[in-house]
Structure 1
Amino acid sequence: MKIFKSSYIFAVAFAIYSQTTYSQENKILNWMYVGSYTEDEGFVDGKAEGIYTLQQNIQNGKLTLGSTVAKLKNPSFVRASTDGKYLLSVSELNDKEAESGFVLSYKINKDHSLTKINQLSTHGFAPCHIEIDKTGKFAFVSNYMGGVVMMYEIEENGNLIEKQKIELENPKESHAHSVNITANNKHAYIADLGNDKIWIYNLDAQKGTFSKNAQEFAEVANGAGPRHLSFSKDGKFAYVMNELNSSISTFQVLESGGLQLLQNISSLPSGFINNNSGAEIHLHPTKDFLYSSNRGANNIAVFRINIENGELSLIAHTSTEGKTPRNFNISPDGNFLYAANQDSGSISSFKIDLETGMLNSLGEVLEAKTPVCLEFVE
């Protein structure tokens, strides 16, 4: 009887210790999923096997490379569900590789491995971006080829079902690159690189419908090529990263959902004359700083936001210590920025100065195969 009691007490104590240790580990670690290229597509020589994981030490910012958790072709963009239970991924395929591109849903397991739930056609080719609305019920996938954006419903078990097909004008020239939804969940903007337009839509999350706004679109400069978009914290301004002319367009967001152009500013260093294409854009989660990446100049541009009129002023450019920073992300606490250098197969780490917005290299460049998307999962 005494032996039984001793064993029982030991088991309970060990369980409490294990739970406490696990809890403490969770407090110092963040998890990231890395989307990648796995195939030689001409513009990129993919070396990865699919989606893999990273661990971030939130105290010192250091990264640890994890394992491949899903093997599939060209998961070039991944997005976690709002509740952190599921991970959505595109499979970026062209018309020579399959009948369409695909979107996949995965369950995120406790150990951060992934279990595939289902896979659906994107009814276009080269799907390159996923957006999830603020209710977490709907996902939008942009196809770079074909002029199609797909709306899917995310069921409670993570299963995806087709909801609506949005066909853009001039489909042969259209290159839908992203969908971005306002904080009030009422309006959405489709960045169409091929048509140099931001298509404006209304979202009714209760009915699950997507319809054109009274202002059907906003234009950027001819040949600018709008790619990705980020909103100011108060939702009054939208910042569009233009891929082809490496500029950022600032728009005022009207109550109706319409957009009014306020400013265009270069994302490049003064005097830079070599080839470049703009890529990612992110607002700092707590401060009035905006960051954008340049592929060619291979740097991150740092801007300060004037909170009164939304306009940007350049602070600095920081080398990403690698080639072709297609994507970057900022840690949830706002202390660190990580850049995915696609063509040098590396991820570089920076400490963010919260007073100035400046990026300070941690002196750590992690080898990682063809990384093109970094997604934190809390």
Structure 2
Amino acid sequence: MGILTGYAGTYESAQSFGIYRFTIDGETGALTEPKLYYPAPNAKYVSLQKGKIAAPVERHKRAGICLVDLSAKDPAAEVFCEEQTACYVIQDGPRIYTANYHEGTVMVYEAQDKPGKEQDKSGKGLRLLKRIRIAPAAGCHQVILHGQYLLVPCLELDKIRIFDGSRNYEPAGEISFPAGSGPRHGIFNRDHTRFYLVTERSNELYTFRVDENAGFYQLDSRSVLPEKGTREDDTAALRISPDERFLYVSTRGSDLLSVFSLEDELPEAVQFVSCGGRHPRDFAIVPGGKFLLVANRFSNNLICFRLGGRTGRIKEICDAVTLDEAVSIVFDPESRKAEESYEGK
């Protein structure tokens, strides 16, 4: 795989200031020390699509998003339409969606090529298309794309709210979970026939069958912990392996990574292992499938684990680097190895 370029989002602190860039050797798992790429306070979640990174940003008590062109031919665009920084960002063509945990909203932005009412001075920017108001403090934690629909896990409501993008994001149903479970993050398999979701407070993995009419049918729920956990365990994120044979889950309170086999009808736990630090947030499977990279927020590091090929198991630590308040990770599919900072271009 050669040298791959990765980007990480961070919470703002005295030592972390925005979006960081690093590289990883796709054959050995060796990491370079992350360097600040774009200063964006509280850029905790990053999305990368077609050479552009979208992330939350907070400046002068204003919150919004930034859109950074990796080619650096143009300055970054920023727009401020939110009272507090979003906890999740995802791109879908020119549309950019954010989930705002505290405000209980989903924002729909659009990238622009021409000057508009709400954009920066560069001549390219962003505009707000739609503010989807769900409920104050609903705990909106993610936006999941499913054809024409948006699925929004609302942790504090114990529901996934569904919206129809073909009908101006009108409500299109909901999926309910047990009281106090706290649905947090979900993921589809490649053909969207299975949907998996983890709950933050009950620390469970839910499995749904999905039909062609966007119907969801629960098949299973089981703990992501070796022993039944409590609310303090705080399950965070999940990922599916490129061959769709395994599913990985991070749990912060237990500093744990869990591995499930997907080779049968229902997920089966095959491994529970330490995250190599404290408070694992997001993590990513490195392109090529040989390594898993974990962002441990409280121990301020990125940890690279080797993966066990056909076994799917997490094996030894290959490398570790320091990054304060690390939250999320993405990789550039074009694998550029650029070392200079955004500000220096």
TM-score over 0.5 for the pair: yes
Alpha-carbon offset, residue 156 of structure 1: 5.5
* Distance in 1 of aligned mates of 2:162 and 2:208: 13
Residue in structure 2 matched with residue 193 of structure 1 by the alignment: 155
Comparing 248-257 with 51-60, which one deviates more in the overlay?
248-257
* Counterpart check, 1:123 vs 2:82: yes
CA contact (8 A) 1:87 1:108 kept: yes
CA contact (8 A) 2:189 2:244 kept: no
Alpha-carbon offset, residue 262 of structure 1: 1.7
Gap runs ≥5 in structure 1? 1-26, 40-45
CA contact (8 A) 2:163 2:169 kept: yes
Residue in structure 1 matched with residue 176 of structure 2 by the alignment: 219
Q: Deviations over 1:286-313 (max 9, x none)?
A: 2310001010111111001145x4x211
* Distance in 2 of aligned mates of 1:114 and 1:130: 23
Q: Deviations over 1:156-207 (max 9, x none)?
A: 6873221111111xx234010000112xx32221011111111112223xx8
Q: Which is bigger in relative contact order (C-alpha 8 A, separation at least 6)? A: 2
Identify, as 1 or 2, the structure richer in helix: 1
Q: Which amino acid aligns with 1:179?
A: V
CA contact (8 A) 2:197 2:207 kept: yes
Alpha-carbon offset, residue 365 of structure 1: 2.2
Normalised by the length of structure 2, the TM-score is: 0.88
Distance 1:257 1:316, change over 3 A: same
Q: Which amino acid aligns with 1:127?
A: A
CA contact (8 A) 2:295 2:327 kept: yes
* Distance in 2 of aligned mates of 1:322 and 1:251: 32
The structure with the larger Rg is: 1
Normalised by the length of structure 1, the TM-score is: 0.80
Alpha-carbon offset, residue 77 of structure 1: 0.5
Alpha-carbon offset, residue 274 of structure 1: 8.6
Alpha-carbon offset, residue 146 of structure 1: 1.4
Residue in structure 1 matched with residue 109 of structure 2 by the alignment: 152
CA contact (8 A) 1:108 1:115 kept: no
Comparing 266-275 with 117-126, which one deviates more in the overlay?
266-275
SS in 2 for 1:178: coil
Residue in structure 2 matched with residue 177 of structure 1 by the alignment: 141
SS in 2 for 1:275: helix
Alpha-carbon offset, residue 362 of structure 1: 2.8
Distance 1:77 1:273, change over 3 A: closer
CA contact (8 A) 1:124 1:143 kept: no
Distance 1:143 1:241, change over 3 A: same
Q: Percent identity among equivalent residues? A: 24
Alpha-carbon offset, residue 130 of structure 1: 0.9
Gap runs ≥5 in structure 2? 115-123, 334-345
CA contact (8 A) 1:345 1:367 kept: yes
SS in 2 for 1:126: coil
CA contact (8 A) 1:328 1:337 kept: yes
CA contact (8 A) 2:106 2:133 kept: yes
Picking from 45, 49, 64, the partner of 1:102 is: 64
Residue in structure 1 matched with residue 340 of structure 2 by the alignment: none
Comparing 326-335 with 122-131, which one deviates more in the overlay?
122-131
* Counterpart check, 1:254 vs 2:211: yes
Distance 1:271 1:254, change over 3 A: closer
Residue in structure 1 matched with residue 288 of structure 2 by the alignment: 333
